[in-house]
Structure 1
């Protein structure tokens, strides 16, 4: 489906209330997803000619698939995922797979659409880029294996070389194993994610564990004195009061998609990251139309087409967490065979199959920022624009250097979890 992004600078918009409408005069066509939900990488775009960027696009498309599936399972609840950490666990696991099982994983990660003779070395470069100290992202993945296994040295070496991690062999003592897992999470996230008291399953063959934490630092911080309780419309009939950060003269990048009937805004974060917000014009908890459009290429094109403007901005303070398994969600991404009869003989001589996929994630933003950094001068406006995230919306946290999808959320209620 062809998407049309309406640039605000050429528009006449009336957006003062949640039911306001936008019209526009200049149209820029954006490529949409094909019948499979993915868009072929545009080879003519120099951005995607860089191997690490091309790989980031592939695993991000897996991330959008993962998000869509999770969202369809939770249509009336918030969704928070760090898809890159899940993709990393699967990519690392493929090192231990024979050809048939490896191909299954690689297709889910869209590796079959890229030409890269050394995907895992490129993945190492990608991880180094997105977890650089200035990015404030903590992300890690781990392969946990059943007790008393003898691991082949080749798998051990490859895993540590490309992903900087070692497989964990369970002791069989649930208390000790859970304590060790919690200690690992604390170490990887610098204590930012709370310990879990949930027991590990007793029949683990392979457990994939991914964890991620991010606290956004705005390039231009909000004035905490302007934060106040304001209305957030849960749906057409229910309104709650939540802390809203405000900036009456915010500089942001903006566009309007007429096909999605959606107002799109992007705010910069420190460390070459940005958040893109997708806000439907009408109050609705059904965000399926927007969700179905999301691919790496579509979001990349949005990033190129948005125009810098000045607006009256309100954003709810956010602190969301996810702690639980996403096994059934992963199975639906054409990965059921990993749980049935895979071939992981490069790991060990004993038959193994994927038992469970665990994911812990925490994401927050408040008024904090790096300062009042200079921004590009917005076009002169003859009227003001209001952009109020005061109803259900989707956000995408993206690394602007590589294009990697780092976090994605569906916010139906800013109060969490």
Structure 2
């Protein structure tokens, strides 16, 4: 595969767009086939954990696109990993036909399926271990008094450390138990997962996540001030904006997507990647359609470390949504109609509800007051200015595995 070239021109670092990469890869594949060559795999994906992370993250990008298209004029914030975990666990109870449906949605068809669940256990440890700030909770909740086969119980706990919950039939007690469980799993970060208990539950997938990020380099609180955020061409609101006139970040400009990309490091091997359209009126659909694990990984490799004048809004985002209708519009639609979950119970059951809650906080907090002196940043003739003062996309990922942790479309940072 031909390696994309990064060009430095008038202070802008240009990274190739997705279609450019696709065309390059297609041409390279054709040339390689003609020459009898085999395309070399990116070393990053030689790790089974990283391959699995890419697969479940691609499910996350698909889910985000579907939800964003349903709410075109509203903010979206998802932590798809929590739902992918519940869904992957659910596949342990599926018959061959239904397991195949889930595997395709999670992109497991390109993996060694025999090793998926053992590998997932390793991935969970790396991404959501007890020492991590990322707190995630995933659960499968079943209809009241359902008799569950013991083999499913043990497999689920072994690979996913997940315990089933069968409803009691007492709505208030069931709601209280679920909320208490999420509160416990997130170490008190999420106090209430659901407002109300849905009716007619057969299978409810629950996914919750909380992350309060700590930057590698903190922002000076004295420089935080109310500044303009442009909702569109005509409307402007004041938001609390963090600033650093001497920031060091990783940067690139995608001419095809017409957006500036900046990546800022957080502690614990997590990074925040901002996709900022050049115009406030620009439709972000093209950027959204480009997002895949492979695309984001390629962008990450191409970004260059530079000095920049930086400003971005403080974020405290809380997103709670029933995603059943969204998932019904994906390739998982058959799980809601006539699935085969006979490995869970002899009684016919089906997916009926998907509940999600994501909380993300990014403030001035950081590990150190000044950048690491060992970081070498390019000094450009024209200093780069990166002001997140208009609608943007945000991707939080685990750098070691490439796992998508959070993804958001922020049209108005005052609330989600």
What is the TM-score when the length of structure 1 is the normalising length?
0.91
- Contact 1:231-1:390 within 8 A present in 2 as well: yes
Residue 366 of structure 2 aligns to a residue in which SS? coil
Distance 1:43 1:317 in 2: 42
How many residues are aligned here? 398
In structure 1, the residue matched to 2:33 is none
Distance 2:362 2:371 in 1: 18
Distance 1:190 1:23 in 2: 41
Distance 2:191 2:4 in 1: 43
In structure 2, the residue matched to 1:407 is 406
Distance 1:28 1:102 in 2: 34
When residues 196 and 302 of structure 1 are mapped into structure 2, their CA distance, relative to the original with a 3 A threshold, is closer
Shift of 1:118: 1.2
- Contact 1:254-1:309 within 8 A present in 2 as well: yes
* Unmatched 5+ stretches in structure 1: 14-21, 35-41
Alignment partner for residue 234 of structure 1, among 231, 234, 237? 231
Alignment of 1:356-395 (within 5 A): 356-371=353-368, 372-374=370-372, 375-395=374-394
- Contact 2:218-2:365 within 8 A present in 1 as well: yes
Q: CA RMSD in A?
A: 2.0
Distance 1:392 1:6 in 2: 26
Distance 2:341 2:17 in 1: 47
Distance 1:180 1:65 in 2: 31
Alignment partner for residue 21 of structure 2, among 31, 54, 57? 31
Distance 2:40 2:407 in 1: 26
Residue 367 of structure 1 aligns to a residue in which SS? strand
Alignment partner for residue 336 of structure 1, among 300, 324, 333? 333
Distance 2:137 2:193 in 1: 16
Alignment of 1:287-302 (within 5 A): 287-302=284-299
In structure 2, the residue matched to 1:50 is 47
What is the TM-score when the length of structure 2 is the normalising length?
0.92
CA offsets 1:144-175 (integer angstroms, 9 cap, x no match): 01111211111000000000011001000000
Distance 2:254 2:112 in 1: 32
Distance 1:230 1:318 in 2: 14
Alignment of 1:178-193 (within 5 A): 178-193=175-190
- Contact 2:216-2:367 within 8 A present in 1 as well: yes
CA offsets 1:94-146 (integer angstroms, 9 cap, x no match): 00000000000000000002234210010111011001345410011000011
Distance 1:141 1:196 in 2: 12
In structure 2, the residue matched to 1:94 is 91
The answer on 1:12 being equivalent to 2:2 is no
- Contact 1:75-1:286 within 8 A present in 2 as well: no
Distance 2:23 2:180 in 1: 41
In structure 2, the residue matched to 1:149 is 146
Alignment of 1:16-415 (within 5 A): 31-32=21-22, 44-196=41-193, 198-284=195-281, 286-371=283-368, 372-374=370-372, 375-415=374-414
Residue 218 of structure 1 aligns to a residue in which SS? strand
Distance 2:207 2:193 in 1: 14
Shift of 1:3: 12
Shift of 1:323: 1.4
When residues 28 and 257 of structure 1 are mapped into structure 2, their CA distance, relative to the original with a 3 A threshold, is closer
Residue 401 of structure 1 aligns to a residue in which SS? coil
Shift of 1:310: 0.5
* Unmatched 5+ stretches in structure 2: 25-38
Shift of 1:185: 1.2
Distance 2:17 2:358 in 1: 36
Shift of 1:198: 2.4
Distance 2:281 2:159 in 1: 43
Residue 305 of structure 2 aligns to a residue in which SS? strand
Shift of 1:5: 7.4
Distance 1:286 1:318 in 2: 22
Residue 368 of structure 1 aligns to a residue in which SS? strand
Residue 208 of structure 2 aligns to a residue in which SS? strand
- Contact 2:17-2:257 within 8 A present in 1 as well: no
CA offsets 1:23-78 (integer angstroms, 9 cap, x no match): 86x869863499xxxxxxx8520100110000000011110000000000000010
Distance 2:23 2:289 in 1: 8
- Contact 2:10-2:382 within 8 A present in 1 as well: no
